[in-house]
Amino acid sequence: MRNLSKSKIIAYRQCPKRLWLEIHKSELRDDSASEMVFQIGNQVGDMARTIYDAEGKGEFIDINGLGHEQALARSTALLEIGKVPVFEAGMAAGGALAYADVMLPDPQEGVVAWKMIEVKSSTSVKDYQRDDIAVQAHIAATAGVRLSSISLAHIDSSFVYPGNGDYQGLLKENDLTEEANSRRDEVKEWINGAQAVAALTEEPEAATGPHCNSPFACGFAEYCNRDKVSPKYPLSSLPRLHPSRRERIVVAGHEDLRDVPDEFLGAIQNRVKQCSVTDETYFDAAGAAADLAPHGFPVYFLDFETAMFAVPIWKGTRPYQQLPFQFSLHILAESGDLQHHGFLDLSGDDPSRACAQSLVDLCGEQGPVFAYNAGFECRVMSELAARFPEFAPALESIIERVVDLLPIARNRYYHPSQHGSWSIKAVLPAAIPELSYSQLDGVQDGGMAVSAFMEAIAPATPPERKVEIEDQLISYCELDTFAMVRLYQFFTGRQPSSLTNQP
């Protein structure tokens, strides 16, 4: 009997077929969605070592360097002695294997005992993490490791980094000792079930369904759906479809949104259906123009690019805080003259103050400030105002001028190619076909912008690559606001005249 790792047992909990594929056909797995999660997990794990071992006396078990056999042997030796903190301590017993993030010696009446802490990059305790802890605790107990407490430490989102490498308070511990210990019989059943599936010589049958994305997106989805013929307009193209309503539609046997009876759908969903059935565009031009008519000139169009860090790197910032490193601003005059301005900081230092200053300098004192899905831009500016009180009055007055273009697009325009989405990247190619994000070199979406920023601020990035990234980020962010300009002109019936500085 092989020892199944904790992650394989958790995979079995999600879907027995997933476990079987992980063991027997792992080459079919698409890992792209989980790479970022792993990177964040590694950052938090590294930080946990400095928090729980400030004196640096502990030992880190390097599984990749040692291999499982030696890692387990070294862990066993350290866990028997019980003198120093151990990180990634391996334990194997009862057909299962796990590596504990943090083991802190906690001798009790002369007997070696340990505080076990699992460290997670989430900001609260999730149900699947409770399963994870239960498996971990069961394996430790079966391996004869005495645990005085079992905790889960997650990121405390209210932590504000005081600087100077002081991360005390970043992690918040939750004692799950009683719960984890009470679930040992349950865990034993999971391990037995997982062992039985692992031993199968044939791939088990399993239909795809909601479980394929819960608690994690399964990397075998493409493989499992390989023979599935997707409808032209799947139910996933129905905007804001409540899961219970979706369930009723599925039970009624409908897979293509064009077949769903009208009574199942709300007003916007029915519009999506009608446009998909007739293959025609909905455009309430008079309504869109009326929505925009109250807003005078000059007209501003604003878009931020932000980065966030599970472990804050800049003093005064919180974990997962959206921190602007770039914005693009187009200013349209009544004459049709269009100016472009922007801000981008790739120095690696906190860009927030300079960003706030630049924004205040460029946004003037009157005229609507259009953003797309504007709640995000308002949140970013509110946070800048909270951090830099000297800019607060000016930033708050910009926030008061913000107008959201998204609800206007949602209420007044729909093209079947949008597939239920009013993101600017879905609306733009339909409404303004000559403009497209695919024409951009390199950075073409928000996720790529964040990755490019992270690469640019990394000390090892060569200067010439940094220049390349800078060009790509400027072009990308500029297109975001230029797209808004063109949508505004499309909705108001104005011609795109006198456009200067266009991408």
Q: Binder to ligand SF4 among 206, 354, 402, 448 (CB under 6 A)?
A: 206
Least distance CB 266 / ligand SF4 (angstroms): 29
User: How far apart are the C-alpha atoms of 339 and 8, rounded to whole Å?
Assistant: 55
Residue 254: CA count within 13 A, CB half-sphere: 21
Least distance CB 212 / ligand SF4 (angstroms): 3
> Residue 282 in contact with residue 274, Cβ under 8 Å?
yes
Least distance CB 17 / ligand SF4 (angstroms): 4
Residue ranges in 221-240 that form contacts with ligand SF4 under rule CB under 6 A: 221, 224
Q: State the Cα torsion 92-24-185-113 to the nearest 10°.
A: 20
Residue 296 is given by DSSP the state: -
Give the range of 50-58, 151-159, 213-221, 410-418 binding ligand SF4 by CB under 6 A: 213-221
Residue type, 323: L
Q: 16-24 vs 6-14: helix axis angle to the nearest 10?
A: 130
Q: Which is nearer to ligand SF4, 17 or 341 (CB)?
A: 17
Does 11 bind ligand SF4 (CB under 6 A)? Our answer is no
> Residue 120 in contact with residue 310, Cβ under 8 Å?
no
Within 8 A by CB and 6+ apart from 396, the residues are 381, 382, 385
Residue type, 38: F
Instruction: Write down the H helix ranges in 82-152.
Output: 127-142
Q: Which residue has the tokens 């797995």?
A: 29
How many residues of this chain interact with ligand SF4, rule: CB under 6 A?
13
Least distance CB 148 / ligand SF4 (angstroms): 37
User: How far apart are the C-alpha atoms of 375 and 14, rounded to whole Å?
Assistant: 35
Does 15 bind ligand SF4 (CB under 6 A)? Our answer is yes
Q: Which is nearer to ligand SF4, 218 or 355 (CB)?
A: 218
Does 220 bind ligand SF4 (CB under 6 A)? Our answer is yes
Does 200 bind ligand SF4 (CB under 6 A)? Our answer is no
Here the tokens at position 494 are: 């104005």
Does 398 bind ligand SF4 (CB under 6 A)? Our answer is no
> Residue 206 in contact with residue 15, Cβ under 8 Å?
yes
Does 190 bind ligand SF4 (CB under 6 A)? Our answer is no
Least distance CB 209 / ligand SF4 (angstroms): 7
Does 10 bind ligand SF4 (CB under 6 A)? Our answer is no
Least distance CB 21 / ligand SF4 (angstroms): 6
Residue ranges in 16-55 that form contacts with ligand SF4 under rule CB under 6 A: 17-18, 21
Least distance CB 207 / ligand SF4 (angstroms): 7
Within 8 A by CB and 6+ apart from 13, the residues are 128, 131, 190
Helix (H) or strand (E) holding 300: strand 299-307
Least distance CB 53 / ligand SF4 (angstroms): 37
Classified as helix, coil or strand, 342 is: strand
Give the range of 137-145, 153-161, 204-212, 323-331 binding ligand SF4 by CB under 6 A: 204-212
Q: Which is nearer to ligand SF4, 217 or 467 (CB)?
A: 217
Residues that bind ligand SF4 (CB under 6 A): 14-15, 17-18, 21, 206, 208, 211-212, 218, 220-221, 224
